[in-house]
Amino acid sequence: MAETEENDVMRVDTLHPADGSSHRTKRVGRGIGSGLGKTSGRGHKGQKARSGGHVRPGFEGGQMPLDRRVPKRGFNNKWRVIYMTINVGQLAEVPAGTVVDYDYVVENGLAKKVPGNVGLKVLGNGELKNAITVKASKFTEKAKEIIEKAGGKAEVIPGKKKFIRANLEYKLTLDEYMESRGEGGRQDN
């Protein structure tokens, strides 16, 4: 009984990979009997037979590569900021006194969720009769005018700041740093 329990215990010397998960490495250049002797499966001479002799991905032997043959159009700005947009007209059915923000718009399906967006932008297409408070990252002038004309409020809230690290937004003096660590200010002798 004690022997079977001892065999079931996992120890460092009993660990091994799962069956079929690891394969023996192919030993090349070990004589003609191995099937991969002499040239080690690389054939005779040529660029691919040499050590370090490979071509980069996309290289077509000097022929004009496909990515250069295909015409290009337009421009993709990697720094662009994308907003989830909604028109004032879509808020016409919202009851008076409601606070409309990004979460409200998402929960009620008023706008399509845009991946990677940094906030809500309100556009000025449509009409509004109810006095509501709208909190968004951006408003067009017309949208602001329509909301305020209906007796509501258009509040601009800061969206996510892209590409700004929080610890770079402020700098401490040496005295402030020492105080924050609880060591008091600088002591001059």
DSSP-assigned letters across all residues of 31-80: -GGGSS-TTTTS-SSSGGGSTT----TT--TTSPPHHHHS---S---TT-
Rounded mean pLDDT, 178-186: 66
Percent of all residues in the chain with a pLDDT value above 70, rounded to a whole number? 84
pTM: 0.50
Contact 112, 73 (CB under 8 A): no
Q: For residue range 103-135, list pLDDT tens digits in order.
A: 999 999 998 888 888 889 999 999 999 999 999
| Rounded Cα distance, 28 and 124, in Å | 71
| Rounded Cα distance, 189 and 186, in Å | 10
Could you give the dihedral angle defined by the CA atoms of residues 158, 160, 162 and 163, in that order, rounded to the nearest 10 degrees?
A: 100
